[in-house]
Chain A
Amino acid sequence: MAPKAEVRPRPLPRPLMVEAITSCVETPFGEALRLLKLDVLGTDDSPIPITGYYTPCTHPKVSGSLRLSPESLVPPSANSFGSRNYCPVPGTLINTNNIRGFQNLDVEYLLREEAKKILHDIMSGKIEEGPSLLLRFLVISFADLKNWKIYYSVAFPSLVFKSEMTLLSLRSASLVLSQEKAKSLSKSLKEWRSSNETTVLPFFWVDMSSDSSIVIRQLKDWKDCQDSGQKLLFGFYDNGYRQDYPGWALRNYIAFLSLRWKMEKVQFLCYRERGSEPDLEKSLIGEASFPPPHGWDDSDYVPAAIGWEGEKPGDGRKEKKLKEINLESMSPERRDEEHQLLHLKLMGWRQFPVDLKKLSSFRCLLLGAGTLGCEVSRLLMTWGVRKLTVVDGGHVSMSDVLKQSLYVDKDCGVPRATAIVPHLKERCPAVDVEAIQMEIPTPGNPVSTSVLDDCERLQTLVASSNVVFLLTDTWESRWFPTLLCANENKMAITAALGYDSYFAMRHGAGPGTVAEGSDMVAAMSKLSAEDVLGRQRLGCYFCNDVIAPVDSVSNRTLDQQCTVTRPGLASIASGHAADLFTRLLNHPDGIHAPGDIAGTNSEGPSGLLPHQIRGSVSQYNLLTLMGYSSSSCIACSNAVVREYRSRGLDFVMQVINEPTYLEDLTGLTELMKSADYSRVEWVDEADDDEEFADM
């Protein structure tokens, strides 16, 4: 048992020296801290309570350490984890917002503040109830989110007595105790360690008075036996393995015994194990004396303290080595995904409340994968959307490659629905894309054989999505999806382009809601101009255009058919559409949110939430508009929705085959006769919309 050739302790009696405790800050703790910072703390850098896990030494040649694992960050009130080798110990974490803040921390002051807490706990009697408070620790850190690193330092505050603690003796417990006593102590320690209640208590006292059996008692039982002046051992879980030094915990224990129990000389037991058994050969029994310190009972007294880990003797805090956790290896896939969301999380810290959970769980249905579809899908992913369904019936042509930002030369001739998938995945590996090659059933278009199937498919797709983006390049192809969204009360966002004007809007809520199950009739009677919140419904894309959808392509000249638009317009409109969607998502009323008008409405946390945005690049105009649902709208009016609900796809097929049917149904035929409406192209209409601006 003689110590090896090394630093040899001075002869006894000598000043009490202990073996320093070390921290084991697991990489997964760093990962958990990183996520906590990103997702919960934001810029909040106030101290948070954490839990460390302490253990007596279990190995003949290695000291135990204080472990910090991901569980350490679970708030102590909700953290029930603890076991024999994971004695929970309270700690404080100060995570600064930047490296300068970290470097500027007054570490000596912080250490003394923690020491003061320990002193208070000793004086107030809290230690008796929770002995592990004597092991209180402090972590300061800076989470460098962009570089996947955590810088940290750990301190184990230990009170410094002005007068010295003197070590009078120190020997292996097996040499101090008789065989019989050793056996009895061993047995009691085993019981202590196998009881769930006591095994997590690192400080205890041993009553050696009786010859027959040795009893181990909790600190809180001290009062009962105070006057019995027999042989006592003050035991603690000693994380150290060394035979020539007791472990770190002894210092604060002695401080407690001196200040609280007014002792000046004690026998102590450094409890150590081998495997999971008490090891009395390795455990030490020693004696220490310590004259009482003065002035410590003063409630404002701030004790001197030591305890920064890694502090080299002599040169103090200046040279303290910063520790570092490198998180790059944690999980490459998750890291990539997090990199991609970092800008949003950082946005969320300061200005814009981005609900990433909602965004990533929302399935977005994009109808059209052309110029608008490419832009919108890309932007939605940038916003954190991770579930996309893309529907398109066309193929990539040479002229598309330049205008439709996702496609490349080799995609020519490939269906857009096939070509777009790898391009989205390349940009965002975490995205879940479903792409369907299909034409949108459209009133007035030549009827293909599959149109009924397509209608059913679209019904299912709309029903299973959370939001629908209408991005096709004809006006009438948006009719059926608009009706479906109105019927399902589904969020719908429209973007459309003119020659030099653009348009983006969110559709209003549907008329009432579809009742669950059999209550269809009752639900229909509820259809009204109000939505379920009792507000007047906002309009849909068709509410503004009081004509029925007919084939808008076949009667046009080539430049009209090709939908010539100024370059850049699609990007602007798509940007507005995606942005409108995220604002809508953040609004507490969601689809029922009233339409804001710039200049007249006050801003919410995510800015204004307009109903419609119309802009023109030639005049640099940007208008926010609001319009209520029209009672004669061919897509969202009560009459049309009621007809769809009662006749289903029969009705839809009839509209597709004879578009004027809608005009009769909604009374438009009458209206048009009386008002002598001329046919208006939707793309041109954006120029003269002053009547909307007043609303």
Chain B
Amino acid sequence: MGGSSVCDGTLSLDEFNASAKALVTKWSGIDVDNALPDWEWRPCRKMGVPSETEGFVALEGVYRIGAGSQSEESDDDPVPDDVVEHDTWVQSSRDNVHLYDFHIVYSFSYKVPVLYFQGLQSGGQLLTLDEIKKDLPSHSLQLLNESKWTFITREEHPHLSRPWFTLHPCGTSDWMKLLLHKLGDKDRSLQYLSAWLSVVGQAVGLKIPLKLYCNS
């Protein structure tokens, strides 16, 4: 794998695939302490048949509790337990729970990864951008407001052909070029997604463990 294209901050499809698999492996190997599930490689399906070469990485079922509160996790503030009791079952309330799905998709036009995401209420209703923003920690909001490259739009998910929110990919290759300078040559394309995620994750309130990006 020629690392040459990575030097300008972009990735080829092959490099994206390799880097995605590296991310999946590395993520499941480290201890993610805030109850995030694993990233999974999802092959695209054409007429139901999984593709060999095209796919995306998915982190699905990420919960955010206490909708609207900016503090992420404080142990003394659990889900309000208005439990309804029956003689054979109990029902826990999920009113303040939001569910997020994140996908990393390769963009052929920008030659960089692009983050797509959707937020759902626990019952399944899609969250609006305003509702999503209320879930974000303050440093994410600050990043979204101040940084030129991070604006959220709603676009057709390339593999699902329905609208998802996305962080616009313009500028990605520029800051990735800077970020990757610090890395050794041979690791660059494999480390690409981990490095990229450590930045992009902040914008959408995804806690990325430091270990993911540190070497070895």
Contacts and interface: CB of A to CB of B under 8 A. Distances in A.
Interface of A: 4, 6-7, 15-20, 22-29, 31, 55, 58-65, 67-68, 70, 74, 78-81, 83-86, 160, 240-242, 245, 248, 251, 274-276, 306, 312-314, 323, 325-326, 329-331
B91 interface: yes
A-B pairs, 8 with minimum CB distance: A313-B86, A276-B38, A25-B124, A27-B126, A24-B124, A26-B124, A20-B91, A6-B81
A218 B192 CA distance: 39
A69 to B, nearest CB: 9
Interface in B35-88: 35-38, 40, 42, 45, 48-50, 60-61, 63, 65, 78-79, 81, 83-88
Contacts of B89: 17-20, 248, 306
Contact of B37 (A15, A24, A58, A60): A58
Contacts of A160: 88
10 contacts: A4-B78, A6-B83, A15-B87, A19-B91, A61-B65, A61-B78, A80-B45, A276-B37, A312-B84, A313-B87
Given A81-B45, A242-B92, 14 more contacts: A18-B89, A20-B90, A25-B123, A28-B126, A55-B61, A62-B65, A62-B79, A67-B124, A80-B49, A84-B38, A242-B90, A276-B38, A312-B84, A325-B124
B97 A62 contact: yes
Interface of B: 28, 32, 35-38, 40, 42, 45, 48-50, 60-61, 63, 65, 78-79, 81, 83-92, 94, 97, 99, 120, 122-126, 128, 160, 162-163
Contact of B61 (A15, A58, A251): A58
Given A27-B124, A59-B35, A313 B83 contact: no
Contacts of A29: 124
Nearest to A67: B124
Looking at A55, A62, A64, which has the most chain B CB atoms within 10 Å of its CB? A62
A28 B122 contact: no
Looking at A4, A26, A84, A325, which has the most chain B CB atoms within 10 Å of its CB? A26
Given A59-B63, A80-B50, A85-B37, A19 B90 contact: yes
B191 to A, nearest CB: 22
A479 to B, nearest CB: 46
A7 B38 contact: no
B88 A15 contact: yes
A67 B120 CA distance: 11
Contact of A68 (B38, B49, B91, B124): B124
A331 B92 contact: no
Nearest to A152: B124
A272 to B, nearest CB: 11
B101 to A, nearest CB: 9
Contacts of A79: 48
A275 B63 CA distance: 11
Nearest to A248: B89
A60 B90 contact: no
Nearest to B32: A275
Nearest to B162: A28
A169 B99 CA distance: 33
A241 B65 CA distance: 14
Contact of A27 (B50, B85, B125): B125
Given A22-B94, A62-B63, A275-B32, A323 B37 contact: no
A16 B87 CA distance: 9
Nearest to A74: B48
Contacts, number: 128
Contacts of B78: 4, 61
Contact of B122 (A24, A80, A306, A331): A24
Given A64-B61, A274-B35, A306 B88 contact: yes
Contact of A24 (B40, B123, B160): B123
A461 B91 CA distance: 66
Given A6-B81, A80-B45, A85-B60, A245 B123 contact: no
Contacts of A275: 32, 35-38
B40 A84 contact: yes
Nearest to A28: B162
Nearest to A65: B122
Looking at A4, A24, A248, A314, which has the most chain B CB atoms within 10 Å of its CB? A24
Contacts of B87: 15, 17, 313
A63 B79 CA distance: 11
A6 B32 CA distance: 30
Contacts of A59: 35, 63
A252 to B, nearest CB: 13
A314 B120 CA distance: 30
Contact of A58 (B35, B49, B163): B35
Looking at B37, B65, B87, which has the most chain A CB atoms within 10 Å of its CB? B37
Nearest to A80: B48
A336 to B, nearest CB: 15
Contact of B85 (A7, A58, A61, A241): A7
B48 A78 contact: yes
B69 to A, nearest CB: 14
Nearest to A70: B162
Nearest to A242: B92
B94 to A, nearest CB: 6
A278 to B, nearest CB: 13
A326 B90 contact: no
Contacts of A67: 124
Given A62-B79, A78-B48, A79-B48, A23 B124 contact: yes
Nearest to A27: B126
Nearest to A32: B162
Contacts of B35: 58-60, 274-275
Given A15-B88, A80-B50, A85-B37, A7 B83 contact: yes
A313 B40 CA distance: 39
Contact of A330 (B50, B79, B81, B163): B163
Contact of B120 (A4, A24, A78, A245): A24
B123 A323 contact: yes
Nearest to A83: B40
A7 B91 CA distance: 11
B95 to A, nearest CB: 11
A442 to B, nearest CB: 46
Looking at B48, B83, B87, B88, which has the most chain A CB atoms within 10 Å of its CB? B88
A580 to B, nearest CB: 35
Contacts of A306: 88-89
B128 A63 contact: no
Contacts of A64: 61
